[in-house]
Structure 1
Amino acid sequence: MNLDFLSPIESELLESLSGLHPQSIGANIRVHSERSGVPEIEGVQIAIFGIRENRRAVKKNDTPVFTEFREQFYRLFPGNWKLNLADLGDIEPGATVEDTYFAVQNLVEQLIKKDILPIIIGGSQDLIYAQYRAYDQLDQMVSLVNIDSKFDLGDADNPISNQSYVGKIVVDKPYNLFNYSALGYQTYFNSQEEIELMERLFFEAYRLGEVTGNITLMEPIFRNANLVGLDLNSVDSASANTAYFNSPNGFNGREICALSRYAGISDKVSSFGIYEYQNRFGSLANTLVAQIVWYFIEGVNYRTNENTISAKNEFTKYQVPIDDEILVFFKSPVSGRWWIEIPFLTNANTKLKRHTLLPCSEEDYLEACNQVIPERWYKAKRKNEV
């Protein structure tokens, strides 16, 4: 695996952290340094790297440098983790943005193939397009969850930007996108045209108040995701004590960390990107980014691996008749989590067979018992029929 295009972590940072507590993350993570080179990744479960790219941002900012994030993250103590971590350094801006995209796509693809979960700290959020394209050669349909105040659909006919990239994901070949879920959108930041388009495409959209009203209901959304993107602008300005997070409304620190942990717990999530990082972040904002990463890793550590056939054979089955349908629910005796079966057509794309069990909540089962069809089940079924 060629990792020569990655730049090492600053020597000054590593020297300043030489006195870290021996149980801290920084004292136990494998790092890419000028002296030692790229770390050995054999046996590593999670690899962190930065992307110093933001040329497609609508509002231009300095090229991001992740030194202070790393300083805050390395000082944290791990939980009761059984995971080996590596910090691979940074992808520098390529001669063109497309060169950067290619490097990101290649690195994420190679890490996933080695069963190493990449955590990406990036500049402008258009980089999630490259994260998504890493799945092109992995022979699977992809579900994307985006934690963002905006849908970022944009116009697929226009050049890609950090506010217009989902349209490119939808229309560019190869067509791998199975589902797109937007968590935490704020209506006044999105045009009615985009809101209606989300409905027509049977994508899922959850308003900020809906998410924060009962954040536990978002766990099933992550359970079916392959990749997750997080726009740091979805955090309210007060939680990070910075005017850069320029909305008074958004997720607070506890909420964004809870969502990150749900993303980590998901057995299917194989890459996690945090975008719109800025050099203007102060120490509090960098501490929050470090804790977002910490909670994602905490979630990964507690995965129950319920996607295996043997695990599903242990599920308890429930059948609920509604009108002319019989909804079939499954409950895990290990985690207590719920799924609902999607009746796929016989001529459906065989790639979709992996999505025959759709994660849901116990509330969905209870509502079905009251003759209310879950909206997620309806949208997934309609997707298969189109």
Structure 2
Amino acid sequence: MAFDFFQPLEDDFLEFVNGLSNQSLGKKVVFHSSTDFPNVEKAAIAIIGVLEDRGLGFGNVAPDLTHFRKEFYSMYPGNWHANIVDLGNIVPGNSLEDTYYVLKVAVTELIKNKVIPVVIGGSQDLTYAMYRAYDQLEQMVNVVAIDSKFDFAKEAGLPANSYLSKMVVEEPNNLFNYSNIGYQTYYNSQEEIDLIEKMYFDAYRLGEVSKNSAIAEPVFRDADLVTLDLNAVKSCDSGNFVNFMPNGFDGKEICVLSRYSGISDKVTSFGIFNHRYTESESVLISQVLWYFIEGYHYRSNEYPYGSKEDYLRYIVPLEDEELIFYKSDKTERWWIEVPFLTNINNKIKRSTLLPCTYEDYLGATNHEIPERWWKAQKKNLI
């Protein structure tokens, strides 16, 4: 079974939960104990701890998610109806690849059962294992990373800094698009920045998103997997002084981005990584996760790929092109039509809808082609 290697939560922690208010979040969750394992088929969201930090090369901190869990489950839920389970922890295997395998199989099983795995814990190279979970689902994958770095680096012994290279290079190659939210230029070589551009990936600098976080919302709307590197949050807000980060998102901004992730109909897995296990950082993670689940409960379940009767259609004629936009009557969110070839040899033309913003529409009326539309077109021709 996929969950045979999961470590149950300790009795002391479960006693702590028993002492919480009946209105607390901890009283609404089913936990993996030494005697019982939650029925995942009845769950909507499954929380998984992964106590694996070898990808970062840190051996001086003992992984422990107890602070996080006590903080999170002491909070009060919103008007939530979805069943949440906590499956306990995946402990490090004999090798890093063993841990990857257990996480990959578990994430695959959960997504097949329409359960969203939320992975809390170790080094960010665990994103690679989550990405590989989609191999069995036979689909292309869009990955969004909230991160100050692109993680293309090839430093020996630090998989957490190079997991994106593996996702791009290794077979089977299911990665359709990668988007970075919040990169800081001085942490990324010009070679990496050029490579992101060459592959028609999306990247938004920290300043852009901090100035207007709404520009990131359509990116999350098109994501399957969202991965958050906690080093993307500045230390004065995260409480992480193990790795001091003078710049980054503040607490409010990272919670907004987490809510965008949760509210996206398409997101099927979410990971929060590079936790340095401080009590103060546990508070931030708890609030980030709270907003993800809050967003989940406001999903509109609108996929404009089916009936388009509930959408207003706007046609913007340009010199050599005709851009077609759709606006939802339900949420007032926007999409743009992207034509693509489903069969290169016979050149059968179809189209898909790419999430966009109202500002993209306004720009198009001024003869400005949206950058994400242009990149999507280029990817279809590769």
In structure 1, what is the equivalent of residue 291 of structure 2?
295
SS in 2 for 1:248: coil
In structure 1, runs of 5+ residues without a counterpart are none
Query: Per the alignment, in what secondary structure is the counterpart of residue 368 of structure 1?
Result: helix
Q: Cα distance, 1:159 vs. partner?
A: 6.3
Instruction: Provide the aligned C-alpha RMSD in A.
Output: 1.9
The unaligned stretches of length 5 or more in structure 2 are none
Give the 3-state SS of the residue equivalent to 1:42 in structure 2. Answer: helix
Q: What is the match of residue 66 of structure 1? A: 65
**3-state DSSP of counterpart to 1:69:** helix
Quick one: distance in 2 between partners of 1:355 and 1:19? 55
The secondary structure found in structure 2 opposite 1:304 is coil
**Hey, what does 1:176 align to over in structure 2?**
174
Query: How far apart in 2 are the matches of 1:313 and 1:153?
Result: 43
- Conserved? CA contact 1:179–1:203, under 8 Å: yes
Alpha-carbon distance in structure 1 between the residues aligned to 2:39 and 2:313: 44
* Structure 1 residue 4: Cα displacement: 1.9
Instruction: Quote the Cα distance in structure 2 between the aligned partners of 1:125 and 1:30.
Output: 27
The residue aligned with 1:80 is 79
Q: Tell me if structure 2 keeps the 8 A contact 1:364–1:374.
A: yes
Q: TM-score with structure 2 length normalisation? A: 0.96
2:225 corresponds in structure 1 to: 227
Q: CA deviation at 1:2?
A: 4.3
C-alpha contact 1:58 1:163 (8 A) present in aligned 2: no
Amino acid at match of 1:7: Q
CA offsets 1:169-199 (integer angstroms, 9 cap, x no match): 0011111000000110000011111001111
CA 1:83–1:69 in structure 2 vs 1: closer, same or farther (change >3 Å)? same
Q: Is the 8 A contact 1:160 1:168 kept in 2?
A: no
Q: Deviations over 1:153-174 (max 9, x none)?
A: 1249x66611111010001111
Match of 1:264 in 2: 262
Does the C-alpha gap of structure 1 residues 144 and 355 become closer, same or farther in structure 2, counting only changes over 3 Å? farther
Query: Structure 1 residues 312, 76: CA separation in 2 closer, same or farther (over 3 Å shift)?
Result: farther
Q: Does the CA-based 8 Å contact 1:150-1:189 persist in structure 2?
A: yes
* CA distance, structure 1, for counterparts of residue 351 and residue 65 of structure 2: 37
Letter in 2 for 1:23: Q
Q: SS of 1:162's equivalent?
A: helix
Indicate yes or no: 2:143 matched with 1:144.
yes
**CA pair 297-377 structure 1, distance change in 2 beyond 3 A:** same
The 2-side partners of 1:364 and 1:233 are apart by 30
Q: Does 1:305 align with 2:304?
A: no
Aligned length, in residue pairs: 380
Sequence identity (%): 53
Aligned pairs for 1:1-386 within 5 A: 2-34=2-34, 36-155=35-154, 161-279=159-277, 281-282=278-279, 284-307=280-303, 309-310=305-306, 312-348=308-344, 356-386=352-382
TM-score by length of 1: 0.95
Of stretches 14-23 and 141-150 in structure 1, the one that deviates more from structure 2 is 14-23
- CA gap of 1:181–1:86, structure 2 versus 1, over 3 A, is same
One-letter identity of the residue aligned with 1:84: N
Matched-pair contact (CA < 8 Å) for 1:229–1:272: yes
